[in-house]
Structure formats: structure tokens, C-alpha cells
A = this chain, B = another copy of it.
Amino acid sequence: MTQRRPTSFDIAALAGVSQPTVSRALSGSASVSAQTRRRVLEAAEQLNYKVDKNASGLRRQQAKTLALLFFEESPGAALLNPFYLSLVGPMVRRCAQHGYDLLISIQQLSSDWHVDYEDSRKADGIILLGYGDYLEYRPRLEKLVASGAHFVRWGSAAAGEIGATVASDNEQGGFDATSHLLQQGRRRIAFVGTVDPGSPEFLQRWNGHRRALAAAGIELDERLQVDADPREEAGRRAVEQLIAREAEFDGVFAACDISAIGVMHALHAIGRHVPDDVAVVGFDDIPAALLSSPPLTTVAQDPHQASDALVDAIVTSIECGTATNHVLPVRLKVRESSLSR
């Protein structure tokens, strides 16, 4: 059914030139006359010729491909993170602009992951997502650096200065969120989110929260600090805890939208109105934030900006050998959930 694929020799024969000339003409080398180039391009078009990436990659020792590695703590959890998911599309687009394809893989954070892509020349560089800053995993990053692989990691550079990183300005985001609540006249603001070194992003958001309170001269009340992982249920339970502690509050800054939505559900269930009784601010700007009622005020990380920064960083690393860290600005999106009347 299918004929044998045409090779650059077939094009050469048809155009009446040699194979190297075909290669040069197609790759845009300057040392090919305009006339020859035209003849070659016509021949290639006519035979529907496409460069064989395997042969090309073998010769050039590269793949023109990047690998996107998702790390997950438990099987299946990886692509539940809405922000990470929102990166995929823009990332594919940016890769295409640089002439790269994007390969996607999922790794268990706990298992001894292997990055075969770089080793096996299937990808020229690697983007790590969800790797976090757990110190226990640091040796692996060191191994990756030692192997000479090009990679960029999403996450703060603070904990360990290994490899290039791109991250949101989480601290500023936390500051903005709480400052906004203060501006709305709230004074007893609860923080809902995990505060442990394993989640550096949450920790930074908390730091911003505290800085905002300090700037307003408000003392920190430990009862208003509730632990919650990024699940709707955890947000609901956080409200129950606040009630149980008999800690009065008129504002909530949740370190992620999912728990913020849980908070709003719990408040609704006990008859406390959002935003009149309690103003709520989240973090992430997931799609559901816009769909919640009332729409959730939240700190947005721009997935396009993040994608571009990650891809640009890895491409720069590959093509120029230089690696830099980036911190991206965040933006407070004010919606109904935090607006006092």
C-alpha cells in the first residue's frame, strides 16, 4: 500500500543535484544558489518529502524535543493539579515556536525515577513539574546536574540552589491577598493551608500573609492558622476547626482555590454569608474559581507566562549553555467573594 518513503537521494536525483546539496538547501544554508534551492524545494514538494527525524537526530546528536515530567505523590494524582494542567497547552505552543516538540511523562515522586529521555537522546532538555523542594530528593537533582542534562524546575530556588528554576512570587501573592482583605476592613483573617517545608509554595504564601499583617500592625493569632492540604474537604474542615476553637474571623486567605471553595461551602452550610460575614480569598485562579458562587477572589499565576518562562529557560540552557532563575509576578483578581458592601 504505502510506497517506500522518499529520501534526500530521491530529491537529489529529481532535482539533478547531489544529496548534500539537498540537505543544505532544506536547512537554509547560505551556500546554495537561489535557483538550486528552488529546484530542490520543488522536488521535495512534489515527492512529499519529509526529513527523517531519526536520521537527522542521529547525525546532529539531538532530538529537537523537550520532555515534560510530572511528579506525583500517588499514582493518578499528577494531573489533578489544575494549574499544572493549564500549563500544558501554552507549553506545547511555546515549544513549537522554538522548533521543539514536547514529550510528556509522569513519574512517581517516591520511586527512584529515571530520566531516560535525556540519556537516550529522545529529548534535549527536561522540564520538571511538581518536584517540590523536599530535601530528601535533592541528591537526585545533583545526579541530574552531574550527568550534564539540561533541565528546569518549577518551584522556588530558595531551598536548594540546584539547577535553574522558574516560580511564581508566592510571597508577594500572599502579601497581596491579605493586604486586600485588610483594605476591605477585615481584621481577623484566618490562614488556611499547609505550613511545612515540604510545600515551599504554601510556606511562602504564609510568609506573605504574615508580612501583610505585620505591616498593618496586627498581631498574629495562632488560632487563626489552620492546616489544610489542597482539597475541598480540607477547606470545609478548616472552618469547622475555626468554629471549634471559638476563634472569631471575618476574613479567610486560603493558600489554594480548592480549599477556598471548601471554606465557602462550609460557611454557606452554617449560614455565614460570603462576603458579608466572611471575605474569602484563594490562590491559583483555577477554572472553578470563576464558576463558584460567589465568584472567588484569588491570586492568579499566569500559565502562559509560566510556560513561556520554563520553555525559554530550557531552550536557552540547551542552545546557549546558560541557566538562570526566574520569579514571575502574580496578580490579584478581585471578585465578589471578598468585596464588602
Contacts and interface: CB of A to CB of B under 8 A. Distances in A.
A291 interface: yes
Contact of A232 (B93, B147, B290): B290
B122 A53 contact: yes
A233 to B, nearest CB: 11
Interface string A66-107: 000010000010111010011011001100100001111110
Nearest to A72: B89
Interface stretch (A113-121, A173-181, A222-230, A238-246): A113-121
Specify how many copies of this chain sit in the oligomer: 2
A160 interface: no
A80 B147 CA distance: 37
B88 A104 contact: yes
A55 interface: yes
Interface in A32-75: 48, 50-55, 57-58, 63, 65, 70
A82 B287 contact: yes
Given A78-B89, A121-B54, A292-B291, A105 B101 contact: yes
Contact of A86 (B1, B79, B258): B79
Contact of A54 (B1, B2, B63, B119): B63
A55 B58 contact: yes
A293 interface: yes
A265 interface: yes
Contact of A293 (B102, B104, B148, B265): B265
B89 A96 contact: no
A24 interface: no
- The size bracket of the interface on A is 35 or more
A96 B85 contact: no
B148 A52 contact: no
A86 B77 CA distance: 11
B89 A50 contact: no
Contact of A121 (B53, B78, B101): B53
Contacts of A293: 265, 268, 293
Contact of A76 (B48, B89, B148, B288): B89
Given A54-B54, A54-B63, A103 B106 contact: no
A320 to B, nearest CB: 15
30 contacts: A1-B148, A2-B148, A5-B121, A48-B119, A50-B119, A50-B120, A52-B121, A53-B122, A54-B54, A54-B57, A54-B58, A54-B121, A54-B122, A58-B58, A70-B89, A79-B85, A79-B88, A85-B88, A88-B104, A89-B106, A92-B105, A92-B106, A93-B106, A101-B117, A102-B104, A103-B103, A232-B291, A261-B291, A287-B288, A291-B292
Given A53-B120, A102-B103, 7 more contacts: A5-B121, A53-B121, A54-B63, A96-B106, A103-B103, A265-B293, A287-B288
